[in-house]
Structure 1
Amino acid sequence: MCSVTIIDATGLPITVEVSHEIYQVFVDYDREIERQRKADSRHRDARSWDTCLIFELSTETLEQTYERIRVLREIDAALEEFTPKQRRRFLLHFAYGYTYLDIAKMEGSNKSTVMRSAKTALKKIQKKLAA
Structure 2
Amino acid sequence: MTIINLRDFYPYYTADSFIEVPDEVAEAMAEFDRREAAYRLRTYRHKAYYSLDREDGIEHSALFVALSPCEIYERKVTMQELHAAISSLPGKQAKRIYAHFVLGMSKTDIARAEGVDEKAVRLAIERGLRNMEKFLKNNF
Q: Scaled by the length of structure 1, what TM-score is found?
A: 0.51
- Is there any run of 5+ residues in structure 2 with no aligned partner, and where? 1-59
State the AA in 2 paired with 1:75. Answer: L
Residue correspondence of structure 1 range 72-83 to structure 2 within 5 A: 72-83=79-90
> What is the CA distance between 1:125 and its match in structure 2?
2.8
Residue correspondence of structure 1 range 1-131 to structure 2 within 5 A: 55-56=64-65, 59-130=66-137
Q: Secondary structure at the match of 2:126?
A: helix
Give the helix-richer structure, 1 or 2: 1
- Is there any run of 5+ residues in structure 1 with no aligned partner, and where? 1-50
The RMSD of aligned alpha carbons is 2.2
Equivalent pairs counted in the alignment come to: 77
> What is the CA distance between 1:115 and its match in structure 2?
0.5
> What is the CA distance between 1:129 and its match in structure 2?
4.0
Q: Secondary structure at the match of 2:104?
A: coil
**Equivalent-residue separation in structure 1 for 2:97 and 2:82 (angstroms):** 12
- Quick check: which has more Rg, 1 or 2? 2
1:86-120 superposed Cα distances (whole Å, 9 cap, x missing partner): 11100111111111111111111111110011122
> What is the CA distance between 1:130 and its match in structure 2?
4.8
Residues 89 and 132 in structure 2, CA contact (< 8 A), matched pair in contact too: no
